[in-house]
Amino acid sequence: MTRKRKPIFFVACEGAHNKTESNYLQHFKNNNGVSLKIKPTSNTAPETMLDYIYHYAQNNGYEKRSGDKIFMICDIDTKEKRHRLCQDNFLAQARKKNVTVIMSNPSFEVWFLDHFIFTSRCFSSQKEIIQCLKQYLPKYKKSDDVYPSLPPWTIAKKNAIRQWASPRDNIPESPGTNVDVLLDALDIERK
């Protein structure tokens, strides 16, 4: 009898040198029910990230029937990226490849901020949201591992859902994120 293996979650993150998302997700890597493979990429174009993580997963043991899942995490930090993500063709292509797109507008830091407060404030840049986040994490710098300093992510989930009240498969207006979708998937698999 063959032993069933743990599901594998393949996750692409923006920025080979920026470790913000990777550092955060490392804390979920030892999840008993899932093997988490985090792959930073230096290319932040959504189409390129989609192809990268899809092909990486296909070449590294992806099996849908084993419960494996593929995610890509991207910031909506420019008008060009918003336009590219909003194209119906892109989201349809991601669905066809079974890739869940995790988006944060304007950046992943909105997820960190959601741990502390609910806000519907429109942030014009990542720099602006980081300044707001520093009210709660005064020494915050990009790529810091802030996980130990954050309240439970269930608080952030409630705030993220309130911010992004429209259907969760649409591109969020500022601010917004659906990072909780990935963490929910990890939690469900752990049970």
Angle between helices 79-86 and 88-96 (to 10 degrees): 60
The confidence score (pLDDT) of residue 149 equals 95
Could you tell me the pLDDT band of residue 175, with boundaries at 50, 70 and 90? confident
Could you tell me the pLDDT band of residue 172, with boundaries at 50, 70 and 90? low
pLDDT at 102 over 70: yes
The confidence score (pLDDT) of residue 148 equals 93
Backbone angles phi, psi at 65, to 5 degrees: -65, -20
Percentage of residues of the chain with pLDDT beyond 70: 87
pLDDT at 78 over 90: no
55 Cβ contact partners less than 8 Å away, ≥ 6 residues apart: none
The bridge status of strand 176-177 relative to strand 99-105 is antiparallel
User: Whole-angstrom Cα distance, residue 116 to residue 168?
Assistant: 21
The confidence score (pLDDT) of residue 56 equals 97
User: Using one digit for the tens of pLDDT, what is the confidence trace for 9-67?
Assistant: 999 998 766 788 999 998 888 766 788 999 988 888 889 999 999 999 999 999 999 99
Could you tell me the pLDDT band of residue 169, with boundaries at 50, 70 and 90? low
The number of C-alpha atoms within 13 Å of 134 and in the hemisphere containing its C-beta is: 11
Highest mean pLDDT among 37-46, 121-130, 136-145: 136-145
